């Protein structure tokens, strides 16, 4: 069969998980409360009251234009992360190699895992159909718009999942796969937004039209247009053709190369029983700089097994004596480990694989592209220009800055969570916890190590802000606010990943909770800003309308931050973050930037302290791996 037993296993097991039922309940409720909040903003203020049928129709049009891209962004992100994490966890547990040894063919393995990971997103998409059909009752919209919105969303979700599965099978480390998946999606969307904003044309075809063909975000905006019933041949059908080609190409490449990518060659052979080199090889144990040096050390260690008269034996009590002996035989210098060996491993060894350099090169390429795009926009005086097709003023430079800042924070967060989950899946976290290391050494070793490895993802956004200041797009005061705020957010992203990794007993929920929390904070902020701009009538009356989002967001944050390690500080941080973000958004619209800075720095710094304090006092790392329907 095409999809095979992996898909049917997921089809039978997924509905039995509590998280699946929780998602089916929360997603349609979120859409309903979003619609309810928008209605309160319109009908509950005197300046924007519904007076006639025309006002009602206008409300339906704006509501559909807001719901469609939010749903696409949410489900596409979750599909990509679920597909990538599902395969990455299989690799970390070394179970993917077992699947490759079975009678499963390549298509059953790739497509089965892909469609199995897409089940929650597609089910949520089906549950959203009644909500979107209810929008038609307000007037101003048609069933054709809803139909094409869902066609585009399904195509975008499958494309995002296919990209996530492709990267998951391609890269051998969890962090590498997650970072590549995130950078690929954000870069693809930002590329077409920039080209459309630049106003170019190819063979007489405007860039806006080409953007609809290639970008799901622009395609869903075109599907929300009232004229889609007449223009679908020029817009929707080309998008479906391009997306279908990309889906087939990604999955075809994964099916073709899956066994080559996952042949197990990265697993180095185990040395002799008395060798001083562990199963990870001399390169890992000695911190050697090149694979040739590691091969020399391995060969020397193997030779030491039969050369007992040489007086070189491995220390049975631990690795250190054997490592130094192997290095001595090979004629290679050994390096002294720092007082904090966790931090030493993070900073002085290839703890996340040598091919992390590929992630850095990809990120540097994105940064260079953002730099060149900024120079182009500034030189052509397009940096502050807005899209004429949008009713909301959003400068073109912000369409570059927001995805760039978002993907930078997500990279920091993904390394934070995988630094713990990879240790657990490799069964090395249990060994780490029984050593004489203190909780302080483990926590700060991981935290500082994550910030060091992702230093470019922290520094480059700050340099981008400095570039905007040099071009006169930012004032000196706002530059200081943004630099300090981004620094605090970077530490928060790293600590959130470590906290999620140490709180959840299994890897997939930890990864989804960590990345999902950061994504929801970003998407929730953007969504609320769109609501405030689209339906704003009286700022003083908006708190009641957003009360449901504030309460719901606080409950969701506490489930991630404090469900497994509850504390009063985490509960307070979970409540303060939604309230603080709402106050920051209203202050931003009122151009009170000092309050925005204080809200972000104080609240997120408090959240970091609330996550750090419990970890300093006890070894509260979840190391159990219960096997059941709720383990993933």
**What are the residue ranges spanned by the domains of the chain?**
4-261, 282-339, 352-617
Q: What are phi and psi of 315, to 5 degrees?
A: -80, 120
| Nearest-10 Cα torsion for 188, 191, 196, 197 | 140
Q: How far apart are CA 150 and CA 68, in angstroms?
A: 9
**Segments in 454-592 forming alpha helices (H):** 455-470, 476-503, 507-535, 542-545, 547-562, 568-589
d(CA 54, CA 58): 6
Q: Where are the alpha helices (DSSP H) in 317-355?
A: 319-330, 341-348
Residues in the chain: 632
* Per-residue confidence (pLDDT) for residue 166, from 0 to 100: 96
Which position has the token pair 């991981």?
A: 446
Q: What torsion, rounded to 10 degrees, do the Cα atoms 510, 513, 518, 520 define?
A: 170
Nearest to 553 by CA among 569, 583, 570, 575: 575
pLDDT tier for residue 389 given thresholds of 50, 70 and 90: low
For residue 205, list its beta bridge partners.
202
Query: Could you give the CA distance from residue 211 to residue 368 in angstroms, rounded to a whole number?
Result: 22
Q: How far apart are CA 125 and CA 105, in angstroms?
A: 30
Tokens of 1: 């069969």
- Dig out the tokens for 461 from the structure: 């956004």
Q: Which two structure tokens, joined as six digits, stand for 136?
A: 């038609």
Is there a contact between 501 and 417 (Cβ–Cβ < 8 Å)?
A: yes
* Tokens coding 593: 């930037």
Nearest CA to 581 among 515, 473, 485, 474? 485
Evaluate if residue 315 carries a pLDDT over 50. Answer: no
Q: How confident is the model at residue 620 (pLDDT cuts 50, 70, 90)?
A: low
pTM of the model: 0.82
| pLDDT value, residue 392 | 55
Q: What is the pLDDT of residues 214-234, one digit of tens each?
A: 999 999 999 998 888 888 888
In this prediction, what percent of the chain has a pLDDT beyond 70? 79
Residue range 428-478, pLDDT digits in tens:
887 887 888 888 888 899 999 999 999 999 999 999 999 889 988 888 888
């Amino acid at each position: 069969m095409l999809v095979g037993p992996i898909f049917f296993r997921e089809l039978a097991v997924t509905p039995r998980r509590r998280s699946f039922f929780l998602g089916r309940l929360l997603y349609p409720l979120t859409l309903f409360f979003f619609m309810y909040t928008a209605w309160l903003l319109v009908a509950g203020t005197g300046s924007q009251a519904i007076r006639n049928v025309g006002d009602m129709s206008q409300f339906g049009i704006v509501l559909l234009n807001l719901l469609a891209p939010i749903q696409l962004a949410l489900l596409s992100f979750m599909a990509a992360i679920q597909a990538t994490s599902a395969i990455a966890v299989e690799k970390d547990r070394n179970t993917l190699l077992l699947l490759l040894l079975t009678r499963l063919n390549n298509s059953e393995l790739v497509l089965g895992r892909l469609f199995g990971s897409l089940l929650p997103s597609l089910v949520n998409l089906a549950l959203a159909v009644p909500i979107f059909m209810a929008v038609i009752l307000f007037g101003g919209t048609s069933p054709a718009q809803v139909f094409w919105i869902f066609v585009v969303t399904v195509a975008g979700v499958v494309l995002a999942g296919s990209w996530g599965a492709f990267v998951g099978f391609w890269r051998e480390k969890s962090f590498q796969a997650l970072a590549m998946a995130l950078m690929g999606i954000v870069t693809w969307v930002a590329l077409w937004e920039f080209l459309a904003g630049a106003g170019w044309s190819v063979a007489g075809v405007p860039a806006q039209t080409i953007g609809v063909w290639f970008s799901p975000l622009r395609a869903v905006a075109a599907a929300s247009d009232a004229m889609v019933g007449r223009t679908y041949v020029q817009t929707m059908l080309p998008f479906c053709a391009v997306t279908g080609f990309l889906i087939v190409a990604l999955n075809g490449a994964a099916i073709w190369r899956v066994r080559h990518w996952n042949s197990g060659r990265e697993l180095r052979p185990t040395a002799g029983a008395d060798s001083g080199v562990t199963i990870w090889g001399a390169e890992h144990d000695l911190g050697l700089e090149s694979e040739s040096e590691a091969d020399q050390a391995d060969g020397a260690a193997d030779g030491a097994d039969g050369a007992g008269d040489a007086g070189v034996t491995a220390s049975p009590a631990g690795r250190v004596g054997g490592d130094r002996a192997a290095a001595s035989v090979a004629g290679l210098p050994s390096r002294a480990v720092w007082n904090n060996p966790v931090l030493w491993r993070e900073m002085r060894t290839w703890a996340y694989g040598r091919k992390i350099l590929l992630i850095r090169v990809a990120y540097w390429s994105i940064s260079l592209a953002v730099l060149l795009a900024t120079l182009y926009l500034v030189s052509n005086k397009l940096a502050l220009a807005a899209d004429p097709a949008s009713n909301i003023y959003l400068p073109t430079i912000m369409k570059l800055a927001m995805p760039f800042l978002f993907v930078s924070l997500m990279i920091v967060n993904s390394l934070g969570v995988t630094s713990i989950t990879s240790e657990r899946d490799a069964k090395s976290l249990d060994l780490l916890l029984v050593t004489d290391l203190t909780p302080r050494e483990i926590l700060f070793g991981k935290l500082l190590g994550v910030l060091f490895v992702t230093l470019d993802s922290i520094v480059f956004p700050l340099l981008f802000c400095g570039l905007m200041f040099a071009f006169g797009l930012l004032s000196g005061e706002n530059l200081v606010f943004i630099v300090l705020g981004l620094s605090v957010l970077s530490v928060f992203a790293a600590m959130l990943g470590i906290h999620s990794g140490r709180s959840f007993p299994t890897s997939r929920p930890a990864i989804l909770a960590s990345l999902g929390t950061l994504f929801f904070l970003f998407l929730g902020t953007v969504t609320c800003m769109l609501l405030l701009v689209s339906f704003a009538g009286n700022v003083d009356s908006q708190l009641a309308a957003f009360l449901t989002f504030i309460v719901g967001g606080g409950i969701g944050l506490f489930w991630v931050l404090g469900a497994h390690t509850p504390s009063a500080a985490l509960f307070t941080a979970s409540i303060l973050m939604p309230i603080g973000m709402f106050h920051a958004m209203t202050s931003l619209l009122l151009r009170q930037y000092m309050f925005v800075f204080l809200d972000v720095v104080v609240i997120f710094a408090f959240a970091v302290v609330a996550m750090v304090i419990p970890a300093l006092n006890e070894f509260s790392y979840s190391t159990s791996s219960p096997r059941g329907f709720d383990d993933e």
